[in-house]
Amino acid sequence: MTKNKLDLIFKSYDIRGIYGDSIDQHVAYKIGKAFAEFVTDDTIIVGHDGRVSNIEMLDAFTSGIKSINKEIIYAGLVPTDIVYSLSGLLKKPGAIITASHNPKNYNGFKLCNAGAIPIGENSGLKDIKKLANTNDEVHIEKFQNNDKYIVSKYFEHLENLVSPASIAQKLNFGIDGGNGVFGAVFDSLNNIYKFNTKSIYLEVDGNFPNHPADPSDETNLTDLKKLVVDNDLDFGIAFDGDADRGVFIDDLGRVISGSMMTVLIAEFLSSQNTEFKVVHNVNVSPHALKVMKDNNIELYKCKVGHSNIKKMMRDVDADFGGEHSAHFYYRDNFYADSAILTLLIFMKMLSENKNKISSVIDNYNFPPSSGEVNFAVEDIDSAINKIESIFEGEFDKTDGLSCLHSDFWFNVRGSNTETKLRINVEADTQEILEQVLEKISISIQL
């Protein structure tokens, strides 16, 4: 049974499943033991988000680590990016117990090696899965934390990257914590940066009572949009469940896509650096890529997924990485993604620019974009082949299928967790965009 569960929960760049079904305490114990066997260090950083099953998972996972006499540095209730940064600062492997934006009944793990080096399908997850596939006895004990508070090192790290003095105090913005883990660190951040903010759903509640902690679904941004527009705020940000991703909206309540944010952050950071390298995933829009290329930014295309982005960033020594899904990565943050650092950099950018973010975005003249559209399919590969057969243009198969036509572009790729196609379309006009989406929909049904 364990083997079948492992097959279900080990994904391309993390581990996740339904708690009590495909993942439980016994599985968590074995993954903890396997992770401890895989890494060479004698000490492992462990944190967790606010899901209702996290304490049970913590007890089991840490018991697995201790079963082979390795020690634990407990980060506590923290966003994923804090574990990554602590892994870089302390040069220790790290694990965060989380299922990111998935519904409340899910849980899982994101893992990294010492120095925040990602562990993905081709960089250790397969080995950990193999090590976990045992019939060893399981002895779970209540986790006892005897460590000092270490998260202060993270906040010192942030201050070194973005000083509070570099952010204008007059910026007013909205936060939707989504009842995810961001609320656990808001007060500490606020003590340092003295935010002027109106906040909703900062209470950490693994039942997610107000809306799913998934800001990639625009229906979950309704309350934040109203907050920003009604209070005439400068912008808003919505965090996902483990707060490693933040989706921004402008002062008019419009979503700032991950592609737009990639351009905004890359251009701001590159203005202080004559040679600037950016790694982007395959569904960052062609318009965004052209803008960056025209500004002499060196671009590197990569498959979707944090472990893929981080590896390529290290390989080419890139300064910044951007995904259309709104994950953003920084060389100065050990090549790791951080929504909190992105928020601070964004505020620093607005402090220096002085213009409304809506007018800044309008100046870029981004063409109509669909955002991510999901289609449920029976077979991902078959559906992608059908789509390719009815379109003409220049195709790229780096990750899924990208089609570049004279008046539109799209990328379609399979979900990492479900039998769904994730589709992004950009077109010269809204009419053409809708025609492309309709054509894709029809082709899937053939």
Pairing outcome for strands 196-200 and 172-176? parallel
Instruction: State in words which class domain 258-362 has.
Output: alpha beta
- Which of 387, 390, 389 has its CA nearest to residue 411? 387
d(CA 395, CA 69): 52
Q: Which amino acid is at 104?
A: K
Name the nearest CA neighbour of 264 among 222, 235, 307, 304: 235
Query: Which pTM value belongs to this model?
Result: 0.95
Same fold, 2-150 and 369-445: no
Tokens 């979950």 appear where? 220
Q: What is the model's pLDDT at position 2?
A: 52
pLDDT score for 329: 98
The CATH superfamily holding the domain 369-445 is Alpha-D-phosphohexomutase, C-terminal domain (3.30.310.50)
What is the pLDDT at residue 1?
42
- Six-digit token string for 353: 């620019």
Q: Which mean pLDDT values do the consecutive 10-residue runs of the chain (446 residues) have? A: 78 93 97 98 97 97 98 97 98 97 96 96 94 93 86 97 93 98 98 97 98 95 98 98 97 96 96 90 94 96 92 97 95 98 97 93 94 89 94 92 95 85 95 96 86
**SS3 (DSSP) at 96:** strand
Candidate list 100, 259, 285, 402, residue with the active-site label: 100
- Can you read off the two tokens belonging to residue 291? 């803008």
Long-range contacts of 184-192 (CB under 8 A, 24+ apart): 184/50, 184/76, 184/77, 184/78, 184/79, 185/78, 185/79, 185/82, 185/151, 185/243, 185/340, 188/151, 188/155, 189/155, 189/158, 189/340, 192/155, 192/158, 192/159, 192/164
Domain 2-150 CATH class label: alpha beta
Sequence-separated (6 or more) residues with CB below 8 Å from residue 47: 74, 75, 76, 77, 78, 80, 82, 83, 94, 95, 96, 97
Question: What is the token pair recorded at 41?
Answer: 């260090």
Catalytic status, residue 100: yes
Label each residue of 404-444 as H, E or C.
ECCCEEEEEEECCCCCEEEEEEEECCHHHHHHHHHHHHHHH
The answer to whether the CB of 94 falls within 8 A of the CB of 86 is yes
Where along the chain do its domains lie?
Answer: 2-150, 153-166+173-252, 258-362, 369-445
Distance between CA atoms of residues 102 and 273, nearest Å = 38
Quickly name the fold that domain 153-166+173-252 has: Alpha-D-Glucose-1,6-Bisphosphate; Chain A, domain 3 (3.40.120)
Bridge partners for 173 per DSSP? 197, 235
Three-class secondary structure of residue 276 per DSSP: coil
